[in-house]
Chain A
Amino acid sequence: AQSVSQHNHHVILSEAASLELGCNYSYGGTVNLFWYVQYPGQHLQLLLKYFSGDPLVKGIKGFEAEFIKSKFSFNLRKPSVQWSDTAEYFCAVNARDSGAGSYQLTFGKGTKLSVIP
């Protein structure tokens, strides 16, 4: 079965600092990759996704992520964070589960981002 690792549990940044959140997955086949964001008190929302094509994916609110197949990574980046980016960020992989035979979304444990004004 696939697994997703997010290296940082909690990241604290000042406004205007650059952000990079790591995400690695383990799965040998074709994957679809996602980053979700959960703002305080709100539900999960899709930030961006990668299915195929250009490995550099641009999402909403200035976020982007780069799929590096050789490294099994899909790191999330933003050049300049804002206080409103304070949230929890989840990386997820959609791959076929060998047991069930169906595609399922596997989530990382999440990274809490706190942006200090």
Chain B
Amino acid sequence: GAVVSQHPSRVICKSGTSVKIECRSLDFQATTMFWYRQFPKKSLMLMATSNEGSKATYEQGVEKDKFLINHASLTLSTLTVTSAHPEDSSFYICSARAGGRYNEQFFGPGTRLTVL
């Protein structure tokens, strides 16, 4: 299958700082990218969906000003956690899809964020 990478894989930051996570589709053009958050022993929760060149669509309860998403190109999307707090500590996973809903979503390896 196609490959999706995330960088960094692990980040530790101080409370109040901002953290940027990159998601790249390495061998295909991703028209749609998704950002998920995974809590321990819980399912992946969709945070937002972004289409290249347009604003992201956020799920209910997700603060768009806190979780900034930029899908600047067909191979790159970034998630910036602004003014991070300890409760933002989590595992963030991106997913990319080429084409419409019948196409497979490919997942990145995830980024473990720890906010001290």
Contacts of B30-46 to chain A: CB distance below 8 A: 34, 36, 41-46
Contact A109 B41 (CB under 8 A): yes
Number of interface residues of A (CB under 8 A): 24
Interface segment out of the listed A11-19, A79-87, A96-104: A96-104
Complex Cα–Cα for A108 and B45 (A):
9
Q: Which of A43, A90, A107 contacts B110 (CB 8 A)?
A: A43
Known pairs A104-B46, A105-B34; A43 contacts B102 (CB<8 A): no
Complex Cα–Cα for A6 and B36 (A):
19
Contact A105 B105 (CB under 8 A): yes
A45 contacts across to B, CB distance below 8 A: 1, 107
Number of interface residues of B (CB under 8 A): 24
Contact B101 A4 (CB under 8 A): no
Complex Cα–Cα for A102 and B44 (A):
18
Q: Which of A32, A43, A109 contacts B107 (CB 8 A)?
A: A43
B104 contacts across to A, CB distance below 8 A: 46, 49
Interface of A is mostly: strand
Contact B49 A102 (CB under 8 A): yes
B73 CB to closest chain A CB (Å) equals: 21
Q: Which of B42, B93, B102 contacts A44 (CB 8 A)?
A: B93
Complex Cα–Cα for A19 and B99 (A):
34
B36 contacts across to A, CB distance below 8 A: 107
B54 CB within 8 Å of chain A:
no
Complex Cα–Cα for A26 and B105 (A):
21
Interface residues of A (CB under 8 A from B): 4, 9, 32, 36, 42-46, 49, 51, 90, 94, 99-100, 102-110
A-B contact pairs, 8 of them (CB 8 A): A9-B41, A42-B109, A43-B93, A44-B93, A44-B95, A45-B107, A90-B43, A107-B36
Ordered nearest first, which 8 A-B pairs have the shortest CB separation? Answer: A44-B107, A103-B101, A43-B109, A107-B43, A109-B43, A107-B44, A43-B107, A108-B43
